[in-house]
Copies of this chain bind each other. A is one copy, B any other.
Amino acid sequence: MLKLPQPVTISPISPISPTSAAAAAGEIPAARVQMADIARLAGVSVSTVSRALSDSPLVNAETRQRIGDLAKSLHYTINIGAQNLRLKQNRTVSVVVPYDPKTRQHLSDPFFLSLIGSLADTLTERGYEMLLSRVDADRLDLAANGFHTGRATGVVLIGQWHQHDQLNAMAVRGVPFVVWGAQMPHQVYATVGGDNVGGGRLATRHLLAQGATKVVFMGDPDLPEIGQRRQGYRLAHEEAGIALQPQRQRQVPFVAEAIEVAVQQLLAEGVDFDAVFAASDLMAMTVISSLRKAGRSVPEDCLVVGYDDIALAAQSHPPLSTVSQPIDVAGRALIDELLSQVSGARATSHQLPTELVPRQSSQRG
């Protein structure tokens, strides 16, 4: 057992327990072991080691065994970089999350984060590695970097923002990639996304069915997905023969403060409303908490529906009605589409079904 000095001082991010692996091991960070080492130790050539390690039938069973054991005991693993270079192959997918250059907001939306989790799981299952990076939303073309540098077989882009044209250009250039987002007219690239128009319609229909007549839409319709959700909101109104009011359609970015301000304005302007359809669950929860601060309670005074069905929607109070997007399916669909492009298939968009999850926030009584 090692006895290490126990630290006392505690200060913000200060070293509290200096220990050293190298010191403990009493050795210099050994040069990484490689095939040549194994070969020398086993008394065979490098080629034989290579074959043995790839389970080639060409090599003597006993030799293979010996080499395998040796490799294991030395913690040897094939250098993937060199292997990839030689094989011109690559089992890595680049996942890119754009950030808004204006706000430079950190990555925090629970839905996107969960999607990343789902992608990570799917890729792990498929034996792929995942390269995660962020990129200025104005320079979405940089997302192709992982591909052009040969690091990745293809690219998954989470959110298309306003850069429709840059994406089309990327596709024409032959970069295998898929975008999580909305399908747009004149689109050469593949998207995978929920049925946003349908989802928006479901949510709004539901609110109208609950007796609401003055439904506010909150979200930034400049983002394609949100624009389509608003489109669904509008369709539902048409279906019901209810006239749309411009002042009930609020353009609000995904920033907590902005949402709170928007709610205050809504109240200050005296806009009459009895329900809110928010473009995301996070937004819906902030709306609810802002309304509460202003003395209005949900669902008594105002019904609310969100979007995404994040894990916490069910645990919040009141439990949040929302439109669910199938995250697990999404991760798999994105990867499957990407890999099929890589193996030569044409870029094909997919739309995932959305589902209304009615909970208490949209039900009176």
Residues of A participating in the B interface, judged by any CB pair closer than 8 Å: 1-4, 6, 10, 12-25, 27, 29-30, 32, 75-82, 84-85, 92, 95, 97, 106-108, 110, 113-114, 116-118, 120-121, 124, 129-134, 144-145, 148-151, 171-175, 183, 185-190, 195, 256, 282, 285-286, 288-289, 292, 311-312, 314-319, 328-329, 333, 346-353
Contact = CB atoms under 8 A, between A and B. Distances in A.
Given A106-B118, A110-B312, A317-B317, 8 more contacts: A2-B188, A12-B352, A13-B351, A13-B352, A19-B187, A77-B145, A81-B149, A120-B134
B18 A346 contact: yes
A97 B120 contact: yes
A18 B288 CA distance: 41
A187 B7 CA distance: 12
B77 A148 contact: yes
A282 B79 contact: no
Nearest to A94: B129
A174 B129 contact: no
A311 B280 CA distance: 14
B316 A350 contact: no
Contact of A121 (B82, B107, B289): B107
Given A13-B329, A113-B117, A315-B288, A188 B21 contact: yes
Contacts of A106: 117-118, 121, 328
Nearest to A342: B29
20 contacts: A1-B186, A2-B188, A14-B350, A19-B188, A24-B188, A25-B172, A25-B174, A75-B144, A75-B173, A79-B150, A81-B149, A81-B150, A108-B114, A116-B132, A121-B134, A285-B316, A286-B315, A289-B316, A315-B316, A317-B318
Contacts of A30: 174
B77 A347 contact: no
Contacts of A315: 256, 282, 285-286, 288-289, 316
9 A-B pairs with least C-beta separation: A107-B117, A20-B346, A113-B113, A21-B171, A77-B148, A79-B150, A285-B315, A317-B317, A15-B348
Contacts of A150: 32, 79-82
Q: Which of A10, A108, A292 has the most CB of B within 10 A?
A: A108
Contacts of A16: 183, 349-351
A286 to B, nearest CB: 5
Contacts of A131: 92, 129-132
Contact of A347 (B19, B27, B134, B353): B19
Contacts of A288: 315, 317
Contacts of A120: 97, 107, 132-134
B349 A19 contact: yes
Nearest to A327: B106
Contact of A81 (B151, B171, B346): B151
